[in-house]
Amino acid sequence: MWTEQVSWYSQGNEIASGHEVKGSEIIDLVPTILHLMGLHVPQAMDGKVLQTIFATESAADRQVIYEQAPESITTDYKKDVYSTDEAEKVRKRLSDLGYL
């Protein structure tokens, strides 16, 4: 995992002017952008919302809303996706391409 600390200067309408962000990581960008866009941040997402970058009283200067994954999402990845015939066609194509 990439853990190098980065420091950058922020700018923009929702961003505090001249504010230097220290201790952020690249994985913080996605949750911060989701929050900036007014979307919920998945609770299981890596990274954190960089709340200190937002200008006071801007639309983004609000509480972060976290969202849990729906219970309907399955983690059972062992189900066969292809029929036996389809799997054989895929295997043959990969073999013809030199991957197998």
pLDDT exceeds cutoff 60 at 1:
no
- The verdict on residue 75 lying in a domain is no
- The verdict on residue 65 lying in a domain is yes
The pLDDT of residue 75: 63
- The verdict on residue 84 lying in a domain is no
| Structural domain count, the chain | 1
- The verdict on residue 83 lying in a domain is no
- The verdict on residue 59 lying in a domain is yes
The pLDDT of residue 83: 85
d(CA 8, CA 23): 10
What's the farthest any 2 CA atoms get from each other in the chain?
61
- The verdict on residue 13 lying in a domain is yes
The pLDDT of residue 54: 86
Q: What is the pLDDT of residues 23-74, one digit of tens each?
A: 889 999 999 999 989 999 999 899 999 988 888 888 888 999 999 877 666 6
Q: Which domain does 65 fall in, by range? A: 6-70
- The verdict on residue 49 lying in a domain is yes
Residues in the chain: 100
Other CB atoms within 10 Å distance of the CB of residue 87 = 12
E strands, the chain, where? 6-9, 20-24, 41-42, 66-67
Kindly list the distances between the CA atom of residue 8 and the CA atoms of 61, 65, 85, in Å, as whole numbers in the listed order.
19, 25, 54
- The verdict on residue 23 lying in a domain is yes
The pLDDT of residue 76: 64
